[in-house]
Amino acid sequence: MLLYGTISAQYTTIVEFTGDGEGNAIGGLYSDGTFLYGVTPWGGGGLGCIYKYALDGSGYTLLRNLSYSDGGRCNSSLISDGTYLYGTGTDGNGSIFKIKKDGTSFQTFFCFTGTTTGRIPQGSLLLVGNFLYGMASSGGANNSGTIFKIGKDGTGFVNLYNFSGIDGKNPNGGLVSDGIFLYGMTMNGGANDIGVLFRIKLDGTQYSKFLDFDTINGMNPYGSLIIDGGYLYGMTKFGGSNGSNGGTIFKIKTDGTGFVKIYNLTGENGGGFFPHSSLFTDGLFLFGTTTGGPGPMLCGTVFRIKKDGTEYFVMHGFGMDGNMPHGPVISDGSYLYGTTTYGNYNVGCGLGGSGVVYKLNMSVGIEETIFSNDVEVFPNPTEGSFQIENIKENSLIEVFNILGIKIFEKRITHGESIDIFSQPNGLYYLRIRNGEVIYYKTILKE
């Protein structure tokens, strides 16, 4: 079932990039609860820049113009351990850098070399403990890409795995982890040379190819997977049944069984197609972006769909207010935040004009969600523990990070403490459920 609505009053363009000064955004955003942090692959010092804005779009700060010596051209989102921001550049063979959130202490601490390490990391990094994990889209022993890890201080680089082709080739996204395995996708390779889905242990052992993508279930995944409730969710850029070829949305269990294609992205009736990024979940819905559709402008969408594949809804269609979002959305519990690669349709959809940072009300099109004004959550901000008061008995408490990964779930009564000490500092959001969704709350750990 396709639902479609143009509810522009719920959409706000909070930043418009200037092109030469800031560039065009391809990756997504990172938020610490106060600021949005992002990168551009062009403009700035020639190879893009690192920037931050307040959530309302005020307080723009240019943290750094990236030069050739920095290894710029950043196509992915930043991540953070609370002190430093970490990212990858694609110039030359590619690089890994870090910078403090105030713009100081920038360091390019690793440069890829090609055959030994891989080259051109396209996806975002993943922080597990004191190590950063990621993938290079080419290079390695077979020139098909690699999986790697490196310490946050730039030491201890390990090439965990060399793709060879039949087991995957040219990963274009990042990795996710359940603490035991890393999960990811490649854009090419596999039995049909249109991508695979895999898992591998954190130490680089037990590589297993779960799935060879095909024309019906989806082709050429560009983004990353997300984990929720024992399932992996993701998208492919092309493929789908009935000759749609606009991409698919799917889920599969973390043990590699139970693959289900939950939606064909066809572009029909105002829908979107050609997704180029990752999904985000609040535990009930999946949220994502497409670079194509809706209508004659074909400049992309933000959409929402239930995890069972029902109630697909176009929350916003781009055109005059930005176009072609290549990055994922993040959330503060009330709004989605994201970027578009290009600007006003009239300037040139996909050909010219700089991108935007936008926010979009998550409740667009939802009329029956029940919110309670009596729930109390304190302290917030927290150093790692908080309490919830005035909730119904046996309520389900869920806490998600900004990537939509559930990091806490428990049924509790009022007055019980929630512990997220093991999680890095940053923005989280809380959902309280008792039959229906009754409360959302943003939590800041600092």
Entry pTM: 0.82
Concatenated DSSP letters of 226-237: EEETTEEEEEES
Look at residue 348 in the predicted model and tell me its pLDDT.
42
Report the C-alpha gap between 341 and 325 in whole angstroms: 6
Concatenated DSSP letters of 173-239: S--EE-SSEEEEEESB-TTTTS-EEEEEETTS---EEEEE-BTTTBB---S--EEETTEEEEEESB-
b/e sequence 81-97, b meaning 16+ C-beta within 10 Å: eeebbbbbbbbbbbbbb
Per-residue tokens: 45:
């010092």
Which residue has tokens 């990094």?
125
Look at residue 330 in the predicted model and tell me its pLDDT.
92
Report the C-alpha gap between 95 and 112 in whole angstroms: 6
Q: What angle do CA 275, 277, 280 make, to 5 degrees?
A: 105
Report the C-alpha gap between 283 and 335 in whole angstroms: 15
Report the C-alpha gap between 165 and 336 in whole angstroms: 37
383: how many CB neighbours lie within 10 A of its CB? Answer: 11
Specify whether the CB–CB gap between 175 and 182 falls below 8 A.
Answer: yes
Its sign, for the CA torsion 215, 220, 223, 227, is positive
Q: Give the 3-state secondary structure of residue 269.
A: helix
Q: What angle do CA 375, 286, 227 make, to 5 degrees?
A: 90
Look at residue 231 in the predicted model and tell me its pLDDT.
95
Look at residue 387 in the predicted model and tell me its pLDDT.
86
Domains detected in the chain: 2-361 (2.120.10.60), 376-445 (2.60.40.3080)
Look at residue 256 in the predicted model and tell me its pLDDT.
95
Q: Give the 3-state secondary structure of residue 16.
A: strand
Per-residue tokens: 340:
């578009």
269: how many CB neighbours lie within 10 A of its CB? Answer: 11
Q: pLDDT (tens digit, 0 to 9) for every residue of the chain, 446 residues total?
A: 233 333 344 888 887 776 555 556 777 899 988 899 988 877 666 678 898 988 887 888 889 988 877 777 788 899 999 999 999 988 889 999 999 999 999 999 999 998 999 999 988 999 999 999 999 999 999 999 999 999 999 999 999 999 999 999 999 999 999 999 999 999 999 999 999 999 999 999 999 999 999 999 999 999 999 999 899 999 999 999 866 689 999 999 999 999 999 999 986 656 788 999 999 998 889 999 999 877 545 788 999 999 999 989 888 888 777 888 988 999 988 889 999 887 765 544 333 457 888 899 887 765 433 444 567 888 888 898 988 887 777 788 888 776 666 788 888 766 678 889 888 887 777 777 776 555 667 788 88
| Residues in CB range of 23: below 8 A, 6 or more apart | 17, 40, 41, 42, 43, 44, 48, 49, 354
Backbone conformation region of residue 293, classed left if phi is above 0, alpha if psi is from -120 to 50, else beta: left
**Across the strands, what pairs with 62?**
51
CA atoms within 13 A on the CB side of 405: 16
